[in-house]
């Protein structure tokens, strides 16, 4: 079995990995971590080659930092269940749904918002509506 675990590196990624581990072990599943970069790629809009080179250098540095942070999370997963990492860009919900077709199961973190933000614009709702595979939403946030 293959499981996709989308990770937001800015919002408690270690808590998500820790919360997902019992499920991954119970499913005896190999897990791949997915990171989706939301920013547009500015390079396509720049015509000056020197500016393009500077942008490319900064993008490569940022990509290496993302890969390093993802690897740190991947290393938290026992080797028997550890897959790889997948990098994508664009709308996170759309990218997660698009990437999920190659997996048997998807585990997503949910920060447990309430009120209007919990009802409208919720990524979890977008994901659940878009999936054609089993999905598990885990409420992940630090203890208060």
Its pTM stands at 0.81
Domain interval for residue 109: 2-139
Tens digits of residue pLDDT in 40-90 = 665 567 788 898 888 889 888 988 999 999 999 999 999 999 999 999 988
Query: Quick check: is 51 in a domain?
Result: yes
pLDDT band at residue 112, thresholds of 50, 70 and 90? low
Query: Quick check: is 144 in a domain?
Result: no
CA separation for the pair 124, 144 (Å, rounded): 22
Query: Quick check: is 45 in a domain?
Result: yes
- Percentage of residues of the chain with pLDDT beyond 90: 44
Mean pLDDT on 107-126: 60
CA separation for the pair 27, 81 (Å, rounded): 10
CATH label of the domain that carries residue 130: 3.40.50.620
Query: Quick check: is 47 in a domain?
Result: yes
Question: Interior CA angle at 95 toward 112 and 97, to 5°?
Answer: 70
Q: Is 120 a residue whose pLDDT tops 50?
A: no
Instruction: Report the number of distinct structural domains present in the chain.
Output: 1
Query: Quick check: is 57 in a domain?
Result: yes
Beta-ladder partners of 136: 107
């Amino acid at each position: 079995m293959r499981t996709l675990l989308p990770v937001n590196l800015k919002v408690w990624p270690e808590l998500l990995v820790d919360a997902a581990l019992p499920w991954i072990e119970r499913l005896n599943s190999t897990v791949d971590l997915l990171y989706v970069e939301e920013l547009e790629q500015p390079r396509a809009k720049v015509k000056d080659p020197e500016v393009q080179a500077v942008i490319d250098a900064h993008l490569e540095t940022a990509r290496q930092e993302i890969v390093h942070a993802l690897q740190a999370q991947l290393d938290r997963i026992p080797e028997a269940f550890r897959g790889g990492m997948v990098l994508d860009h664009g709308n996170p919900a759309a990218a997660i749904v698009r990437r999920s077709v190659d997996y048997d199961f998807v585990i997503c973190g949910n920060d447990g918002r309430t009120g209007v933000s919990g009802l409208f614009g919720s990524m979890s709702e977008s994901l659940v509506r878009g999936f054609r595979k089993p999905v598990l939403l885990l409420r992940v946030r630090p203890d208060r």
